[in-house]
Structure 1
Amino acid sequence: METTSAKAAEKNGVTQNVEAYLKGRLSEAQKRFQGLEGEANKAFRALETRSQVAAKEVQALWTKVQAGELRADPRVQELTKKVDEAGVELRKRLDGLQAKVVEAVGVASQSQVQQITQELGRLSKKLDVLLKPTRRSHPSTKNSGGAASSPRA
């Protein structure tokens, strides 16, 4: 009886250790997600502020463009560059945050899936090349239309 209770106590201890480990991992993952969420919110607020400032500038310039005043104005060209740069930066940040989230979750990213697909295609081609000689080594199936390998009833 003591050995049974000792085994049960040991099993209970192992279960508690596994639960504690899993809770710890879950807690770490939640902290990572909170950190990523904080970063995303900061980036979003900064970009939102920048976009509001740029929108005001664009609106003022658009009024002048409609009046035909700013077609060659260097400020319009500079603003176009700023908007393009902000768009590129936004895409980079969002891609980076997306990659971090995907990494934290443990799912393959789009680029990893593409690499895997390319590797599978390459291996499939190699496999086809390796299988072709074995198909040619059975001339009786070619000449007799497969009658030698499949008996008829």
Structure 2
Amino acid sequence: MAILVSRVTRFGIIALLAGAVAGCAATGGVQPLAFAPVSTPKVADSDAILAALNGGILPPDAAGGLAGPDRLRALEAEYQALEKASLGQVVAWKSQARGTAGEVSAGTPYQVGQQNCRQYTHTATIRGVPVKGQGAACRNEDGSWTPLG
């Protein structure tokens, strides 16, 4: 008898939770932030926007192995993922050299104070060696993104 009551109680709790979640979904509940498309950054110099990424989130020893144009491609992919990519969308980049390419994906936008922020992951193969960087960045008033910590 106690087992039957326990199962009925668990079923009731599960039903209540399911109803609460369904109610949030039906009424709009909590929704992730969305960024409006940015056609022209407030900073005229796109180099300044990429410089704000402070070298990106790939491990410094691995990123040091990137040639100048490849480093720029990697930073541009990070910026595009943070600025425009939807959840789960991958922004890929590829070097002219063999064995060097990468992908960046950003998480759901969130707010810290008045700043829009996102977590993101950058996986790459640099000269045949796989590397991965993870972090978060917040958007500045000028349209640039600055990695946290």
TM-score class, shorter-chain normalisation, is under 0.3
Q: Which is strand-richer, 1 or 2?
A: 2
Query: If you compute each CA radius of gyration, which structure gives the higher value, 1 or 2?
Result: 1
Q: Which is helix-richer, 1 or 2?
A: 1
Please report the TM-score for the alignment, with normalisation by the length of structure 1.
0.26
Please report the TM-score for the alignment, with normalisation by the length of structure 2.
0.27
